[in-house]
Each structure stands twice: as structure tokens, then as C-alpha cells.
Amino acid sequence: MFLHDYLKNAKSTQDMVFIFRENGLIWNEKQIELYALLDPAIYVNKDGKWTVQQDERRQVILNAIEEAIGYRTMVKIDPDVISHISGHHIIPMLEIKEVAISTGRYESPRKNILRIKR
């Protein structure tokens, strides 16, 4: 969800209410807190603010997918996505597919294809 992009820097619940409203969602503080508690990647830090866990490998994969897709709706994992991953990482095609599907933004109609969910 879009919230992960905003929570790379910790935010208070009130900040999250504002972010949701900017994106057209009229949720109150309790609804947002419940949503955040149900998302395993979001947690409350020691300062009492909401933040998202930063998994570098996962983020490398998601960035490569975003770059490969650009304005298209569908890409091949190999070579399109893999060509956007730096040489410092060796990431198998299956892991790329699993990470993409786990976000809820992508689906894989075939073995080597990723597309934006409709």
C-alpha cells in the first residue's frame, strides 16, 4: 500500500490521518491504528511513532520492479526486472515473483510475467 512509502520516516497517528486524507481516504485515528497493527511490516518505534521495517533485499527487488514496469502494465521478470538489479545482488526469479505478489500490487499470470493488478 502507499502507506509504506510514507512510513520510511516515522510518523505519528495524526500524521497518518493527514496522509490518508491527502489520498482520499477519510479514516479516523482508530481505523488507521488498526490497519497499521494488522500490517506485519508496520510497527511502533521507541518514540511511539509508526514506521515500516526496511528490508534492503526486498526494497532492491521492489525498486527493480518499479523501474522495469515504468508506464507499462506488464513485464518479464527475466530479463526486464533482473536487468535493473545491481550486480551486488544475486536474486532468483522465484524470489522476485514472491516479493511482487506479497505486496498486493502485482500478479503473475504466467511463470515469467509480472503485471499490475487490476
Domain that holds residue 96: 56-116
pLDDT tens column, 78-116: 888 888 887 777 888 888 898 888 888 889 888 899 998
Please tell me the total count of domains within the chain.
2
- Give yes or no: residues 44 and 67 share one domain: no
- Give yes or no: residues 75 and 108 share one domain: yes
80 three-state secondary structure: helix
- Give yes or no: residues 69 and 101 share one domain: yes
In 1-118, which ranges are E strands? 42-44, 50-52, 74-76, 106-107, 113-116
- Give yes or no: residues 99 and 48 share one domain: no
Is the pLDDT score of 51 beyond 80?
yes
Share of the chain above pLDDT 90, in %: 16
> 17, 33, 52 — which closes off a domain?
52
- Give yes or no: residues 15 and 34 share one domain: yes
pTM: 0.54
- Give yes or no: residues 62 and 112 share one domain: yes
- Give yes or no: residues 48 and 61 share one domain: no
